[in-house]
Amino acid sequence: MPRIQPLIPLVFLLAASSARAADERRDPKAVEVAQSVMQAMGGENAWRAAHFVRFDFKVDAGGKVVVDRAHLWDKMTGNYRVEDKTKDGKPQVTLFNMATQQGTAYVDGKKLEGSAASKAVKDAYAAFINDMYWLAMPWKMLDPGVNLKYIGKQTRNGDAGQVVRLTFNKVGLTPGDRYDAFISDQSHLMTHWDYKLQSGDSGAWDWQYGDYHGIKLASNHTSAKMSINMGNVRVLDQVDPAFFSDAQRTLAQLP
């Protein structure tokens, strides 16, 4: 996550992981809480069946938008589209496949070549890793390589809940990160997390959700100094394949 690492570095565990990591440590109570979260969010079968996911990633720091990306993911094929801007404000589109991490990138409508193209695809993949975790982290609690520890009961702003700690067993980009997820007893949703990253950074965020095609995903996050809005979140059954091959299109045109 090189472009936003000072702000919000995070880990994402790929849903396509084929093998369960060795030596996972999971408290039975923590697993029970995690399962209740996924049920409250629509159920694991519904998340697996979701075909296309469209969302944004907008970071507002002190009233200024410092990151603004648009995403489209074909969960069945791994095809992906990211729209953002270069440091000098030019529109950039990157089209790639997550399984191969190969693709093409365009700046101001012109195709990049060589090392510039490779870097753009690598950065787009890292953006997916970072941004998708903010959209769908509760769906990832039982992913391969995730350790779960039940911390205990807690009350936040009058809301009783339970805390589950997530650590990672040699998976993701930053396996030394730690997240303490507060799960509301009323909604069974993760409404807050405290984190301590392997970089040494720490912080806390509140989460809000929306219901999209029967699946709950994050809609907004707030902290003491920043907000992260997921923008135009949609879960779709059909998308024109050209959105994964035609850089001239924009996600604003998606029906």
Cα–Cα distance for residue pair 33/52, rounded to 1 Å = 27
- Asked whether the predicted pLDDT for residue 60 surpasses 70, the reply is yes
Higher pLDDT, 9 or 111: 111
51 phi/psi in degrees, rounded to 5: -90, -60
Q: Which residues contact 38 (CB under 8 A, 6 or more apart)?
A: 44, 47, 138, 139, 141, 142
Per-residue burial over 171-206, b = 16 or more CB atoms within 10 Å of its CB, e = otherwise: bbbbeebbbbbbbbeeebbbbbbebebeeeeeeebe
183 phi/psi in degrees, rounded to 5: -110, 120
pLDDT band at 200 (very low <50, low <70, confident <90, very high): confident
CB 110 within 8 A of CB 90: no
pLDDT band at 115 (very low <50, low <70, confident <90, very high): very high
The two tokens of residue 112 are: 């990049």
Q: What pLDDT digit, counting tens, does each position of 6-34 carry?
A: 333 333 333 333 344 446 799 999 999 99
- Asked whether the predicted pLDDT for residue 215 surpasses 50, the reply is yes
Q: What percent of the chain has pLDDT over 70?
A: 89
Cα–Cα distance for residue pair 48/210, rounded to 1 Å = 18
Q: What does DSSP assign to residue 78?
A: -
Q: What pLDDT digit, counting tens, does each position of 168-193 carry?
A: 886 666 677 899 999 999 999 999 99
Q: What pLDDT digit, counting tens, does each position of 122-158 carry?
A: 999 999 988 999 999 999 999 989 999 999 999 999 9
Judged by DSSP in three states, 155 sits in: strand
pLDDT of 198: 83
pTM of the model: 0.88
Question: What domains appear along the chain, each with residue ranges and CATH number?
Answer: 28-253 (2.50.20)
For the chain, what is the mean pLDDT?
Answer: 89
Cα–Cα distance for residue pair 53/236, rounded to 1 Å = 6
Cα–Cα distance for residue pair 164/154, rounded to 1 Å = 11
